[in-house]
Amino acid sequence: MVESLPHEEEAFCRMIGKGARLKTFLSMSAYSLGKTIGIEAASHALHEQFRAPDAASLPGIRTLRRLAHLSEAQVQTDTGSSHIGKTRSRQFHAAREADADAWISVDDDVEISQVTALYLLQALNDYEPRIVVVPTYMRAAAGARPTISIKPLKVLAERHVGQAHLVACESGAFGCVGMNRAAMSALVIEATATGQLSFIDVDGVAKLALFHEMIADDVDGKRRWYGEDLAFFRRVPRFVTVEALLAGHSKHAGALLDLENEAHFALVP
């Protein structure tokens, strides 16, 4: 799933190779692997996979490796937590505390192409608060038509980063999502002001439960249960831009999505 790079991207790779790399905090959870072979054995396996990824490695590990190759990365994996909302909240806290320009969260069954990884980093390299979602196909029953994991806005808003096209959206699944430090700071300020999401973790440190599930009214006034990813996006301040990246390819649970064509057709009127 490695694509050739246009001349513009080759130049960018040469630039970051000379030291102008975005500092990233990359995180991934692999609870299923930890449950299967044990937490410590799973951590060791992920370390070995990241060191030398191949076709047998977890898709998420190959994604982390591509992102790490293009940035100055800190990598954190979790193989023990079974509560995804708490895990993501902890990973957000770790990213916020790290000396990183951006946090990118990757699910263990999601892979993105080299081109997608490159433009994701470029899209996050901004002083404006931005959250960038890589669209993927959602899991679907056998024979059912898969849907794309993005809820678009009713009014089209778009921008280009190099040759990549980004479209503003309301929310998306958290298979591969990045946010820059400005967006993280805005989330912390908003959550701290309400004081309702703070909790003391097992390590004694106060953190924010930004991915805590919620029950709230939808646009039609109906009470809905929002999972950890959609609950997170409902907490994003309005001035933070949420965008879907339409460049390269993504693969979720083996379902390949052409972001420049299939996803673009589905999301852009």
Tell me how many domains the chain contains.
1
pLDDT in tens, 184-214: 999 999 999 988 899 999 999 999 999 999 9
SS3 percent helix, strand, coil of the chain, rounded to 5, is 35, 30, 35
48 falls within a domain = no
The verdict on residue 46 lying in a domain is: no
For residue 123, give its domain range.
86-267
Q: Answer whether residue 45 is part of any domain.
A: no
Residue 215 belongs to a domain: yes
What count of residues does the chain have? 269
Average pLDDT value for residue range 208-235 = 95
Q: Is residue 69 part of a domain?
A: no
Look at residue 268 and tell me whether its pLDDT is greater than 90.
Answer: no
Q: Each residue of 88-145: pLDDT tens digit?
A: 999 999 999 998 999 999 999 999 999 999 999 999 999 999 999 999 999 877 777 7
Tokens of 145: 């038509």
Q: What is the CATH number of the domain that holds 229?
A: 3.90.550
Within a 10 A sphere around the Cβ of 44, how many other Cβ atoms? Answer: 13
What are the pLDDT digits (tens) for 152-185? 887 789 999 999 999 999 999 999 999 999 999 9
CB 81 within 8 A of CB 29: yes
| CB-based contact 224:80 (threshold 8 Å) | no
The confidence band for 18, taking pLDDT boundaries of 50, 70 and 90, is very low
Asked, for residue 195, whether it belongs to a domain, the answer is yes
User: DSSP letters along 137-164, please?
Assistant: BPP--TTSPP-BSEEE-SS--EEEETTE
> Considering the domain boundaries, does residue 55 fall inside one?
no
Within a domain: 141: yes
**Does residue 13 have a pLDDT over 80?**
no
For strands 102-107 and 23-29, give the pairing: parallel
- DSSP secondary structure code for residue 108 in this structure: T
